[in-house]
Amino acid sequence: MMKRFVLLLVCLSALPLQARTVETMLDNGMKIIIREDNRAPVVVSQLWYRIGSTYEYDGITGASHILEHMMFKGTETLKPGEFSEIIAANGGSDNAFTSRDYTTYFQRIAKDRLEIGLKLEADRMRNVVFQPGEFAKELAVVKEERRLRVDTNPKRQLFEQFYATAFLTSPVRIPVIGWMEDLKSMQMEDIQDWYRQWYSPNNATLVIVGDVVAEDAIALATRYFANIKPSEIEPPKRRSEIEQKGQRRLTLYGQTSNPYLIMGYKAPVLNGSADKVKDVYALAVLSGILDGGSSARISMKMLRGDEIAVEAGTSYDPFDRLAGLFLFAGTPNKDISPERLEQAFKDEITDLQKNPVSAQELQRVKAQVIASRVFDQDSMFNQGMQIGMLDSVGHDWRLIDSYVDNIKNISAEDIQRVAQTYFPDDQLTVAILLPESGDDQ
Amino acid sequence: MNFWRSLILLVGSGLLWSQALALEIKTWTTENGAKVMFVESHDLPMVDIRFTYKAGSARDGEQPGISRLVSALLVEGTGDLDAKQVALQFESVGAQLGHDSLRDMAWTSLRSLSDPAMLDQVVDLYARVNALPSFPPDAIERDRKSLLVSLANRKNQISNVVNDAFFAQVYAGHAYQIGQQGTEAGLKSITREDLLDFHRRYYVAANATLAMVGDLSEQQARDYAEQLTRHLQTGEAAPALAPAPQPDKAQIVRVPFKTTQSHIVQGKPVLSRIDPDYFPLYVGNHILGGSGFSSRLMQEIRENRGLSYSVYSFFVPMESNGPFEMALQTRNDQVDEAAGLLQQMLEEFIDKGPTAEELEHAKKNITGSFPLKIDSNKKIVDYLAVIGFYDLPLKYLDNFNERVMAVTREDIKDAFARRVDPLRMIRVIVGEQQTS
């Protein structure tokens, strides 16, 4: 998580230098984007719905994710589990994931089997059958999933509490898996309604990457999706975050022997910040200056050097749908307090505010972005992810094309300017995890 | 957002091969005796390089943790260069340097653009990182401290607690007993001289495999392979590991842990990398608990009963006999029901074997998904490293599907009956006991 900047650079810099990418839209409003990549006789097919936890509201948190689970529970013509069985019998694998801004279903399969996945995916866009028995079991599974990922993991709990503290009115505060209290009271009808409301061709984008001819793949997709009627999608009410009035802090005690610190400053994203485009890219480079590898400042000064932390990093995602945070987080070294780690992060910010970064550091970040652009093309799945993520949050996927140039244009002065703009104390939220008493024997 | 990463991990290990695509693996030995495995691929202007050494925690001896500490220190300096200078030289051309260690192997990796203007800047340094680490005293102390901090927190992480308890019991007295995390006493006992000795013994050409994939001609690969290995001493290969003894009776180990959800793992030592029963066990396990949603365990325990989010079984083929494991996590009050089911389903599988339909389905899935196993340079270099490290036949991948197709129901039943005795298994349960 805390290496997200590096991952993002990797994610978003991957313009296949010569890959052919074709985009079209069906009459019913479903977008189709095909990237030809013929390195292996396989194909990755991803169907992206523009729905996730930032569309949810109090009482039904976790609905998007439960719905994702229910999508495997059968349709008018398929038994529960049969979707995955058919894909498996054809040598493919399939799964799905839910995030804040999108829910995605995917198959990886030999290229001559692409049609099978498309047919099944078109079927469950509208024909899922909700059965009370299946729903009850799946809800139990989701609760076990929450116990596994969050309730038995103090760091994850800290992140949940942290987001719910940093954001009061923006749905960014909602955990993707949902609050346990909401899971307990979730009704099958809630999920059915959610399905009817959001699953339609005009709220979806199909992304295919692999050894296909774009026109043929589009023809196949058209055969199965074109006859699905669009529905009226009413965008959720705008729920912007109110202006933060002063610093917020929370402390959580958990089953750990290592304290943990999270600091977050309110930060813009590309979406809805036409006037701040340069700031957003500058923040991305700033994150790389601090945490873009073993020669970056955090590694050299805080992990080595002063040995303040055993692990530490920054995270900033310029491509979320809603405004988010610039994060610092880490585990303090033995005998170092979380407050001391917090001060060390702040010292790094002060340094960036006072002094321009060196030409060598800037060159290093840019070289990493350029190389990652090539490395990323090694994975078809990641190429699909880049296209689908950008598209799903409202960007043109071609933003990948300009990403490297935008990064290249950032100067030392830009970084100094955003360092001075975006890290005031009154925009800060701090969360600290401490060992429960007696836990650290 | 973090969310999907973990979910994607579910997408299992499909393993397959279509006749249309065959990997042309070139192999040779460098002048000083390192084995090289190379696949030429010019689609992307990049190169993946990986060194593997028989230098995992199975070689820790009396100092558990030393293999991990050596691995961590490789990037802390070589010759006159300190850690920052080393890192900067890689990162300023966008190259990515990696290193880690497991029970069997330690490895380092380099991913770089193939343009000689970039690659030539890092090849010799990468060779030095492997062969000539300087082990600076301050870095030793820092990394030691950092490993001790993570070690201390393992007892709070339930998945680590269950895993550590399982290995401690199943591999008591064997080289696999303690993992790469080591022990507090072990880590504290290590001197700089010990680190140098360990490195001199195991990071040598005769104990190394060099895997390379990417945008190089064979001649270029041969030249680079010599450069990459030239600082390594020839040395000797590590001796073979002894097989782990089998448990003589069933045993249940309970570890109390404050939690809302218990973790259960059960199993025993079974499979080495070169093993005549490999394919029947692999295909059989695919049906039992190795194929995600279509496996028996997932169908019954998750889909039919909603007892666990994740339930699976697997064989870990290792140099010595790696474990067979079955695992799930469930609410504390469901532990007995879930553990009973695991045992019952295993016994039933061994007793009756898979159905003809299940076997056919598994074969279709395994063989049909073969191309997905090698659809990127990253996956190919992973395979080369494994094939080289474990001395698997070069035709391992080419023959994979054929071997899978040859497996019969009787083979599976027979292999499971001989190798996976369900009445002599170790079961570890970590959680809050609520048993009546």
Same domain? For A47 and A168 the reply is yes
The percentage of residues in chain B with a pLDDT greater than 70, rounded to a whole number, is: 94
User: What is the tally of structural domains in chain A?
Assistant: 2
> Which residue has 């090849």 as its token pair?
B123
Same domain? For A35 and A184 the reply is yes
B289-292 LR contacts (CB < 8 Å, sep 24+): B289/B313, B289/B314, B289/B326, B290/B12, B290/B13, B290/B314, B291/A88, B291/B12, B291/B362, B291/B365, B292/A84, B292/A88, B292/A93, B292/A95, B292/B10, B292/B11, B292/B12
| pLDDT tens-digit readout, B370-388 | 999 899 999 999 999 999 9
Using CB atoms, which residue from A255, A310, A368 is nearest to B94?
Answer: A368
Any domain includes A168: yes
> Which residue has 């079974």 as its token pair?
B270
For residue B104 the two structure tokens come to: 């069997």
Length of chain B measured in residues: 436
Given A193, A225, A257, the domain boundary residue is A225
Task: With beta carbons less than 8 A apart as the criterion, state whether A106 and A385 touch.
Answer: no
Using CB atoms, which residue from B3, B149, B306 is nearest to A99?
Answer: B3
Using CB atoms, which residue from A293, A375, A378 is nearest to B91?
Answer: A293
- Partners of B83 on chain A (C-beta within 8 Å) are 294, 300, 304
> Which residue has 């199909």 as its token pair?
A206
Mean pLDDT, residues B251-268: 96
Does B192 score more than 80 pLDDT? Answer: yes
- Cα Rg of chain A (Å, integer): 23
Does B433 score more than 70 pLDDT? Answer: yes
For residue B71 the two structure tokens come to: 């691995």
- pLDDT attached to residue A274: 83
Task: With beta carbons less than 8 A apart as the criterion, state whether A416 and A320 touch.
Answer: no
Q: What residues form DSSP beta bridges with B109? A: B50, B98
- pLDDT attached to residue A7: 29
Q: Binning pLDDT at 50, 70 and 90, where does residue B10 land?
A: very low
- Partners of A39 on chain B (C-beta within 8 Å) are 43, 375-376
Same domain? For A164 and A297 the reply is no
Low-confidence stretches of chain A (pLDDT beneath 50): 1-16, 439-441
Any domain includes A232: no
Any domain includes A50: yes
- Partners of A80 on chain B (C-beta within 8 Å) are 303
Any domain includes A258: yes
Closest CA to B113 of B128, B129, B96, B126: B96
Question: Up-side HSE of residue B29: CA atoms within 13 Å toward CB?
Answer: 8
Q: What is the interface pTM, i.e. ipTM, of the complex?
A: 0.90
- pLDDT attached to residue B27: 97
Using CB atoms, which residue from A294, A317, A379 is nearest to B87?
Answer: A294
- Partners of B18 on chain A (C-beta within 8 Å) are 41, 110
Query: How far is the CA of B160 from the CAs of A1, A331, B265, in angstroms?
Result: 20, 18, 11
List of E strands, B196-274: 208-214, 251-256, 261-271
Distance CA B348, CA B350 (A): 5
Any domain includes A386: yes
Distance CA B377, CA B380 (A): 5
Q: Number of helices (H) and strands (E), helices first, in chain B?
A: 17, 13
Mean pLDDT, residues B123-138: 98
Q: Which chain A residue has its CA at the smallest distance from B370's CA?
A: A91
Any domain includes A127: yes
Distance CA B227, CA B234 (A): 14
Domains of chain B: 24-229 (3.30.830.10), 251-431 (3.30.830.10)
- Partners of B330 on chain A (C-beta within 8 Å) are 144
Using CB atoms, which residue from B10, B44, B94 is nearest to A370?
Answer: B94
Q: Binning pLDDT at 50, 70 and 90, where does residue B15 land?
A: very low
Task: With beta carbons less than 8 A apart as the criterion, state whether A285 and A293 touch.
Answer: no
- Partners of A84 on chain B (C-beta within 8 Å) are 292-294
CB contact under 8 A, A90 and B153: no
Distance CA A200, CA A28 (A): 9
Does B341 score more than 90 pLDDT? Answer: yes
- With an 8 Å Cβ cutoff, is B136 touching chain A? no
Any domain includes A237: no
- pLDDT attached to residue B13: 31
| pLDDT tens-digit readout, A256-310 | 999 999 999 999 999 888 889 999 999 999 999 999 999 999 999 999 999 999 9
Question: Up-side HSE of residue A233: CA atoms within 13 Å toward CB?
Answer: 19
Does B188 score more than 90 pLDDT? Answer: yes
Same domain? For A197 and A266 the reply is no
For residue A51 the two structure tokens come to: 């729905």
Query: How far is the CA of A183 from the CAs of A114, A117, A143, A355, in angstroms?
Result: 35, 30, 7, 49
- pLDDT attached to residue A59: 96
CB contact under 8 A, A379 and B378: yes
> Which residue has 């049906």 as its token pair?
B287
What pTM value is reported for the model? 0.92
| pLDDT tens-digit readout, A17-54 | 568 999 999 999 999 999 999 999 999 999 999 999 99
Task: With beta carbons less than 8 A apart as the criterion, state whether A397 and A11 touch.
Answer: no
Distance CA B233, CA B31 (A): 11
Same domain? For A380 and A317 the reply is yes
CA distance A27 to chain B (A): 31
Same domain? For A194 and A280 the reply is no
CATH number at residue A164: 3.30.830.10
CB contact under 8 A, A40 and B331: no
Using CB atoms, which residue from A108, A176, A360 is nearest to B372?
Answer: A108
CA distance A65 to chain B (A): 10
Terminal-to-terminal C-alpha distance of chain A:
29
Does B11 score more than 90 pLDDT? Answer: no
- pLDDT attached to residue A401: 79
Q: Binning pLDDT at 50, 70 and 90, where does residue B12 land?
A: very low
3-state SS, residue B182: coil
Average pLDDT value over all residues in chain B: 92
Same domain? For A217 and A272 the reply is no
- pLDDT attached to residue B9: 26
CB contact under 8 A, A141 and B261: no
Any domain includes A441: no
Q: Binning pLDDT at 50, 70 and 90, where does residue B21 land?
A: low
Same domain? For A98 and A197 the reply is yes
Same domain? For A267 and A371 the reply is yes
Same domain? For A375 and A330 the reply is yes
- With an 8 Å Cβ cutoff, is B118 touching chain A? yes
Same domain? For A216 and A253 the reply is no
Distance CA B291, CA A169 (A): 42
Distance CA A139, CA B375 (A): 36
Domain encompassing residue A173? 17-225
3-state SS, one letter per residue, for chain A = CCCHHHHHHHHHCCCCCCCCEEEEECCCCCEEEEEECCCCCEEEEEEEECCCHHHCCCCCCCHHHHHHHHCCCCECCCCCCHHHHHHHHCCCEEEEEECCCCEEEEEEEEHHHHHHHHHHHHHHHHCECCCHHHHHHHHHHHHHHHHHHHHCCHHHHHHHHHHHHHCCCCHHHCCCCCCHHHHHCCCHHHHHHHHHHHCCHHHEEEEEEECCCHHHHHHHHHHHHCCCCCCCCCCCCCCCCCCCCCCEEEEEEECCCCCEEEEEEEECCCCCCHHHHHHHHHHHHHHHHHHCCCCCHHHHHHHCCCCCEEEEEEEECCCCCCCEEEEEEEEECCCCCHHHHHHHHHHHHHHHHHCCCCHHHHHHHHHHHHHHHHHHHHCHHHHHHHHHHHHHCCCCCCHHHHHHHHHHCCCHHHHHHHHHHCCCHHHEEEEEEEECCCCCC
Task: With beta carbons less than 8 A apart as the criterion, state whether B358 and B366 touch.
Answer: no
Q: Give residues with Cβ within 8 angstroms of A425, minimum separation 6.
A: A247
Closest CA to B407 of B357, B363, B352: B363
Same domain? For A252 and A220 the reply is no
